[in-house]
């Protein structure tokens, strides 16, 4: 629908470095006054998902999907839930398999294209019968998941799901994985958490998962090639990235959708900015602030622009729905 290059985002003075904009909120942000009510739902394959709710007795719901090795407890998720509560929405922040504080039941885990789990969460919310309008919000991996989900559904998406906002999205998974793998700080941070979970899974499922291969895994790409891909039915990392990259699902999106990727995001190379592919799409807006980092967007004067921008976009389209 539109390429938005003149974004309203203004960073704090002297805070324009993409790495600092990424790291500082992750390390130092705290969000108070968010009290979740947890619900556990079963999946069709015999596993479970943990859902964390903050309710305002609203007929509108936002479903929030976190990033790689995140959870509903991360401050960027809590901040978005609080911002949407303040705007009068109920919020549901769901945890991917093994991300809610307890291991899941099956050898498999989660990945960037596991839309069956987001589908289970959306179907559960719809079955409650409380919500006339539902919006989807996703960060990073969760943004990729959200775009793939609504793109797969296309015109078959339930009419009560009326809009989406995704932030800091690796639209091209292969190039983003390569970028992260080449960064000592980011690569080691993700690998530390991912490898810890694989060790636990290998102990729980020794015949399905070979923990000995971990010694050869040095990068995120190698982790996906060794574990993520084969655990979830892909030939290798390249096949996984190709089949799950959300940029291939944008054409069939049928609801108003805002993608926000900062030009200085250290996780996103040029392949994650497919301007020419997005420009002709009638339901997708692509906003590319000059600054913001990865899930940063600290705002000049305080607060987080990503949250106010999300509320603004969704409120606009909910009013028009």
pLDDT per residue as tens digits for the range 137-188: 999 999 999 999 999 999 999 999 999 999 999 999 999 999 999 999 999 9
Give the model confidence (pLDDT) of 219-277 as tens digits: 999 999 999 999 999 999 999 999 999 999 999 999 999 999 999 999 999 999 999 99
Residues 6+ apart with CB under 8 A from 290: 7, 262, 263, 264
Listed in order, the ranges of the chain carrying CATH 3.40.50.1820 are 2-172+251-320
Quick check: is 168 catalytic?
Answer: no
Quick check: is 140 catalytic?
Answer: yes
- The residue annotated as part of the active site, out of 225, 245, 265, 306, is 265
CA atoms of 31 and 150, how far apart (whole Å): 29
- The residue annotated as part of the active site, out of 65, 172, 294, 306, is 294
Residue closest to 267 by CA, chosen among 160, 189, 153, 158: 189
- The strand pairing partners of 75, in sequence order, are none
Q: What is the CATH number of domain 2-172+251-320?
A: 3.40.50.1820
Q: pTM for the complete prediction?
A: 0.97
- The residue annotated as part of the active site, out of 65, 140, 245, 306, is 140
Quick check: is 265 catalytic?
Answer: yes
CA atoms of 147 and 143, how far apart (whole Å): 6
């Amino acid at each position: 629908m539109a390429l938005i290059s003149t974004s309203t985002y203004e960073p704090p003075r002297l805070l324009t470095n993409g790495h600092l904009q990424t790291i500082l909120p992750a390390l130092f942000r705290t969000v108070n006054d968010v009290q979740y009510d947890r619900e556990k739902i079963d999946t069709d394959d015999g596993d479970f998902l943990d859902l964390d709710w903050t309710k305002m007795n609203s007929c509108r719901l936002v479903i929030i999907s976190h990033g790689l090795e995140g959870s509903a407890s991360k401050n960027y998720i809590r901040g978005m839930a609080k911002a949407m509560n303040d705007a009068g929405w109920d919020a549901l922040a769901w945890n991917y398999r093994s991300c809610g504080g307890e291991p899941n039941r099956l050898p498999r885990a989660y990945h960037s294209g596991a839309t069956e789990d987001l589908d289970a969460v959306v179907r559960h919310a719809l079955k409650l019968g409380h919500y006339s309008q539902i919006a989807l919000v996703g960060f990073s991996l969760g943004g990729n998941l959200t775009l793939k989900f609504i793109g797969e559904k296309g015109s078959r998406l339930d009419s009560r799901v009326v809009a989406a906002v995704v932030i800091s999205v690796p639209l091209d998974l292969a190039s983003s994985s390569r970028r992260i793998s080449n960064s000592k700080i980011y690569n080691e941070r993700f690998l530390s958490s991912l490898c810890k979970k694989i060790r636990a899974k290998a102990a729980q499922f020794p015949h399905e998962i070979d923990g000995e291969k971990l010694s050869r895994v040095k990068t995120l790409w190698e982790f996906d090639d060794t574990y993520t891909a084969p655990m979830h039915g892909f030939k290798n990392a390249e096949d996984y990235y190709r089949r799950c990259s959300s940029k291939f699902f944008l054409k069939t999106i049928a609801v108003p959708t805002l993608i926000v990727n900062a030009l200085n995001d250290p996780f996103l190379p040029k392949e994650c900015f497919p301007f020419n592919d997005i420009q002709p799409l009638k339901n997708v807006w692509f906003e590319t602030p000059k600054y913001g980092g990865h899930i940063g967007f600290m705002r000049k004067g305080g607060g987080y622009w990503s949250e106010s921008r999300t509320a603004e976009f969704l409120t606009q389209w909910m009013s028009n729905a």
